[in-house]
Amino acid sequence: MRNIQSFESDSPEDTESIAAEFAKKLKPYDFIALNGCLGAGKTKFTSGIIRLLCENDDVTALSPTYSIMNKYSCGGGVINHFDFYRLKSVYDLETCGFFESLEGKNLTIAEWADAVKIDYKKYIAGNYYLVNIKIDPDEKNKEKRYIAIEKIL
Ligand SMILES: Nc1ncnc2c1ncn2[C@@H]1O[C@H](COP(=O)(O)OP(=O)(O)O)[C@@H](O)[C@H]1O
Ligand SMILES: [Mg+2]
């Protein structure tokens, strides 16, 4: 049986709260794959995780669009936040520190994880969570998001 939790978000703040609640169970070595279209809220969701784990409401996750990775150090732990949207090749994936991050004692978060056709399961040392965020184009409330969190490993 698949282990999926579904949430409805009505605002960016809601998405951050859902992410923060989810983050309470995260441990070093865990991997979070974030999928969903541009503007779905993957970076917002990441902000929610970082705010909880860093115990700092002022920290905001920035899109690591140009660097591929942003590193957040907080409370003795490290969070590596990747964005594969602009990843051009497997070479980029190998050189951006992603595999080292999966093996290391830190949390790894990757936006656009499904843009890379690899079997993440092979490389993950901790738990593997797949987060999908959907926008319903017919929805009157333009801030409505459907968030599904699945525990894969
Ligand atoms: N319910 C919601 N959850 C998350 N973001 C929302 C929501 N409603 C509106 N937004 C807006 O959508 C945008 C999401 O941006 P971002 O998190 O950068 O998306 P992504 O990283 O998926 O491209 C932000 O401008 C945010 O304010
Ligand atoms: Mg983003």
Q: Is the CB of 15 under 6 A from ligand 1?
A: yes
pLDDT on residue 59: 80
Nearest ligand, measured from the Cα of 9:
1
pLDDT on residue 86: 86
With a pLDDT cut of 90, the percent of the chain lying above it is 80
CB atoms within 10 A of CB 144: 16
The rounded distance, in Å, linking the Cα atoms of 84 and 106 is: 19
Nearest ligand, measured from the Cα of 35:
1
Measured at the alpha carbon of residue 48, what is the angle toward residues 32 and 61, in degrees to the nearest 5?
85
- pLDDT bin (cut points 50, 70, 90) of residue 9 is very high
- Taken in order of first residue, the domains within the chain and their CATH numbers are 3-151 (3.40.50.300)
**pLDDT (mean) for 41-56:** 94
The dihedrals phi and psi of 98, each to the nearest 5 degrees, come to -65, -50
Q: Is the CB of 9 under 6 A from ligand 1?
A: yes
Instruction: Output the average pLDDT for the chain.
Output: 93
pLDDT tens, residue by residue, 49-104: 999 999 887 888 888 766 788 999 987 789 999 999 988 888 888 999 999 999 99
User: What's the CA-to-centroid distance between 61 and ligand 2, angstroms?
Assistant: 9
What distance separates the 2 farthest-apart alpha carbons in the chain? 44
Q: Could you tell me if 87 and 109 are in contact, meaning their C-beta atoms sit under 8 angstroms apart?
A: no
Given the CA of residue 111, which atom of ligand 1 is nearest to it? 21
How far, CA to CA in Å, does 59 sit from each of 3, 51, 142? 30, 6, 25
Probe target for ligand 1 pocket from 7, 37, 44, 111, with the most ligand atoms within 8 Å of CB = 44
pLDDT tens, residue by residue, 133-149: 999 999 999 999 999 99
pLDDT on residue 5: 98
